[in-house]
Amino acid sequence: MSNDPGEQSALIETVVTTTGSDGVVNCAAMGVRWGEHELVFWPFDATRTLRNLRAHGEAVVHLTDDVLLFVQAALGHPQPPMVPAGAVAGSVITEANAWREIVVTEISPCESELPRSRVRARVVASGTGTQQPLGLCRARHAAVEASIVASRLSWLGAEHVSAELARLQELVDKTAGPRERAAMDYVRRHVAART
């Protein structure tokens, strides 16, 4: 089996921390092809993540069950507790379940509706946090879906987004705990402020 993450691995939803030239750490939700030694992801050209990676090609990619942190990283600018990474000049989110420290090996343009680039990166260190993975949860997945729909509000349109949020809210109402409810509320407030 090939080790090329672009070919074989699932796209995992992560939170990527990068550092700006002003020293500010940016947290962004990002889908990543998760290989053992190499990760591939596709930041839009307008993102701070890509700008930071072009200036300073190191980052930390986190796996988290914290869906509120995830939706905030998709729609806002959270600053969760972080500590310096061990092998790169970057920041590790302390409450992540696991993380990988990466060094960018290639940034290339890629074909897509909106301008985005393909980033390949080598894993140089990894770690696990003290939080045990929580497992599958429909409400958590619903909040993740809601956040991606909300992040596409400008081209999906208010009516479509509102219908999707209503459908996903049913899953949250049935299966959420407080963190999932807070995440869905965050998404709804984000959309309400823009429609």
Ligand X SMILES: Cc1cc2nc3c(=O)[nH]c(=O)nc-3n(C[C@H](O)[C@H](O)[C@H](O)COP(=O)(O)O)c2cc1C
Give residues in contact with ligand X (CB under 6 A).
Answer: 13, 26, 28-31, 41-44, 47-49, 74, 144, 147-148, 151
Q: What minimum distance in Å lies between the beta carbon of 76 and ligand X? A: 8
Cβ proximity to ligand X: between 1 and 114 the closer is 114
Contact assessment for residue 19 and residue 52, using Cβ atoms and an 8 Å cutoff: yes
Least separation in angstroms between residue 43's CB and ligand X is 4
Beta strand segments in 111-180, E: 116-128
**Closer to ligand X at the Cβ: 31 or 129?**
31
Place of tokens 């993380």: 99
CB of 103 to ligand X, least distance (A): 18
90 DSSP assignment: S
Shorter beta-carbon distance to ligand X: residue 176 or 190 = 190
Give one DSSP letter per residue of 143-157, joined into a string.
Answer: HHHHHHHHHTHHHH-
Instruction: Say if CB 179 and CB 142 are below 8 A apart.
Output: no
